[in-house]
Amino acid sequence: MADAVLTECSDGIAVITINRPEARNAVNGEVARGLAAAVEEFDGSADVRVLILTGAGGTFSAGMDLKGFLAGESPNVEGRGFGGIAERPPAKPMIAAVEGYALAGGFEIALSCDMIVASEAARFGLPEVRRGLVAGAGGLLRLPRRVPYHLAMEIALTGEHFTAERLQQAGLVSRVVGVGEALAGARELAARVARGAPLAVAASKRVIVESADWASGDAFALQGEVIGPVFLSADAMEGAAAFAEKRAPVWRGE
């Protein structure tokens, strides 16, 4: 049997592919464990700056494997949640490259990512209410923070599909590209992110993610704890020197 999750890495960009095209990349236990292992590996690798998550065969993911669910199989990983990623995404930036359907848990996995590049034919939705279920893998928690309240309600309560174009207009999808070009578009975006200093990129993501829970009176102090070490890093000195010398910086991640 082919591996349920495939990985590759080059030029500081790791690509993680859900590889169950015969099941529209539905998430079962094997996929969840594979995603968790891949994220754990790449998050701890000094050779990786950015992660891309995609699906094989022209579909991102149709969500939880309902056949596995009926058989009592869990698509969760302890400490990481659904798909091995929904409750604890990587510390490094991650981009979803979406072709075809990103539905139910598949949409929730995409919402776990920091950016979404989608094909113009991609379709997103949370159809759980039509199956007697609830989008409990982060969809109901993340959507109201990413799109306007009424759109979040429409997505969650109707269970209908939404186009990449509409979600780009709402600010959820970063880029819409041609059919079959989502991965290439995600690679191009990832390469732009990878040009930044690793410590600065990681700190920037951390502040954006964690500050949602900070009290306004504490925000600058808490931000200072995160970004202070960046200003004292060797990369900060290198960035200034490279700018002054009109050359590309050479980051060391320290």
128 is catalytic: yes
At residue 38, the pLDDT reads 96
Look at domain 5-194 and name its CATH class: alpha beta
What's the pLDDT tens digit per position in 35-86?
999 999 999 999 999 999 999 999 999 999 988 888 888 899 999 999 999 9
pLDDT tens figures, 168-199: 999 999 999 999 999 999 999 999 999 999 99
Residue 216's identity, in one-letter code, is S
Write the CB contacts of 39 (distance below 8 Å, at least 6 apart in sequence): 16, 51, 80, 84, 85, 89, 90, 94
Pick the catalytic residue: 108, 160, 181, 238?
108
Q: Which residues of 102-139 are buried (b: 16+ CB within 10 A; e: fewer)?
A: bbbbbbbbbbbbbbbbbbebbbbbbbbeeeebebebbb
HSE-CB at 97 with a 13 A cutoff on CA atoms is 27
pLDDT at 1 over 60: no
Distant-in-sequence contacts of 204-207, Cβ < 8 A, 24+ apart: 205/91, 205/92, 205/93, 205/114, 206/91
The model scores a pTM over 0.75: yes
Q: Is 108 a catalytic residue?
A: yes
Residue 95, pLDDT above cutoff 60: yes
pLDDT value, residue 67: 85
- Three-state DSSP class for 69? helix
Token representation of residue 107: 């949409």
Q: Which of 78, 128, 160, 254 is catalytic?
A: 128
**More confident site: 254 or 153:** 153
Say what the pLDDT of residue 66 is: 84
* Residues paired with 95 in a beta bridge: 52, 115
pLDDT of 144 strictly over 80: yes
